[in-house]
C-alpha cells in the first residue's frame, strides 16, 4: 500500500475498489443511467408550521434566546415553514420521504405554566399533521410533547400516534434540567 502513502482517503478507497473489481466498476459505469429505485429518507428535518408560530406569538409569556423574533425566523428560513419550497427541495435532491420534526425548542420555554405549554404542543402537532395530510406519500412526522406534566405528555403521544398518524415523539436531551430516565417519565415511554 505504499503507493497510496500513509493517509487512506475516500478517493483512494474508490481506486482500490476499482482495481480489485474492475469488471463491476466498468459494467456499472454509465453516466446517463437513472437513479436507483431505492428510497432516500431524511429523518431529522425541522418543520415550523405557521399556525404554531402564530400561537407562540399569541400565547408567549417570555422569549427564547434562540428565537427572539418568530416572524424574523420564518423570513430568514422560509424552508422551515413553506411546504411547497420543502417539496421542491426534496425533488431537487431526490429525497423520497422526510420525517418532519418540530422546532427543537421545548414549549415550556415560551410559556410559564405546564397547561399552556401542553396546549402549544397540541397546536404544533395538529398543524404538522394537517401539513403532512396533504402529501402523506412524502412526509411522516414525530410529535412535540411537553414533559412538564408526564401524564399529559403520555396522553398527547397517544393522540399523536393513534389519531394524527405520527411515528413517535421528539425527545430533548433533558426535561427542564432533569434526565430523561427519571422514574416520573417511565409511563410516557
Q: What is the pLDDT of residue 6?
A: 59
3-state secondary structure labels for all residues of the chain = CHHHCCCCCHHHHHHHHHHHCHHHHHHHCCCCCCCCCCCCEEEEEEECCHHHHHHHHHHCCCCECCECCHHHHHHHCHHHCCHHHHHHHHHHCCCCEEEEEECCCCHHHCCCCHHHHHHHHHHHHHHHHHHHHHCCCCEEECECCCCCCHHHHHHHHHHHHHCCCCCCECCCCCECCECCCCHHHCCCC
- The pLDDT averaged over each successive group of 10 residues in the chain (189 residues) is 56 55 43 61 90 89 76 84 90 93 88 92 96 94 93 96 95 86 86
Residue 156's pLDDT is: 97
Query: What's the pLDDT score for residue 3?
Result: 52
In this prediction, residue 27 carries a pLDDT of 42
Q: What is the pLDDT of residue 29?
A: 42
pLDDT of residue 14: 56
Q: What is the pLDDT of residue 24?
A: 43
**pLDDT tens sequence across 108-153:** 888 889 999 999 999 999 999 999 999 999 999 999 999 989 999 9
The confidence score (pLDDT) of residue 22 equals: 46
pLDDT, position 64: 72
Sequence-separated (6 or more) residues with CB below 8 Å from residue 174? 180
Task: Determine the pLDDT at residue 165.
Answer: 96
Tell me what pLDDT residue 8 has. Answer: 58
Look at residue 178 in the predicted model and tell me its pLDDT. Answer: 86
Amino acid at each position: 500500500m505504499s503507493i497510496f502513502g500513509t493517509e487512506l482517503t475516500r478517493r483512494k478507497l474508490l481506486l482500490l475498489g476499482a482495481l480489485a473489481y474492475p469488471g463491476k466498476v466498468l459494467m456499472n459505469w454509465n453516466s446517463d443511467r437513472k437513479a436507483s429505485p431505492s428510497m432516500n429518507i431524511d429523518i431529522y428535518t425541522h418543520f415550523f408550521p405557521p399556525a404554531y408560530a402564530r400561537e407562540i406569538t399569541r400565547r408567549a409569556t417570555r422569549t427564547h434566546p434562540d428565537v427572539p423574533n418568530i416572524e424574523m425566523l420564518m423570513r430568514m428560513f422560509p424552508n422551515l415553514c413553506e411546504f411547497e419550497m420543502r417539496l421542491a427541495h426534496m425533488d431537487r435532491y431526490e429525497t423520497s420521504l422526510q420525517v418532519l420534526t418540530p422546532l427543537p425548542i421545548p414549549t415550556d420555554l415560551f410559556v410559564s405554566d405546564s397547561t399552556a405549554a401542553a396546549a402549544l404542543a397540541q397546536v404544533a402537532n395538529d398543524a404538522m399533521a394537517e401539513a403532512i395530510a396533504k402529501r402523506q406519500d412524502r412526509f411522516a412526522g414525530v410529535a412535540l410533547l411537553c414533559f412538564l406534566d408526564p401524564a399529559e405528555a403520555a396522553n398527547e403521544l397517544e393522540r399523536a400516534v393513534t389519531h394524527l398518524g405520527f411515528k413517535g415523539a421528539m425527545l430533548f436531551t433533558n426535561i427542564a434540567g432533569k434526565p430523561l430516565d427519571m422514574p416520573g417519565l417511565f409511563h410516557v415511554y
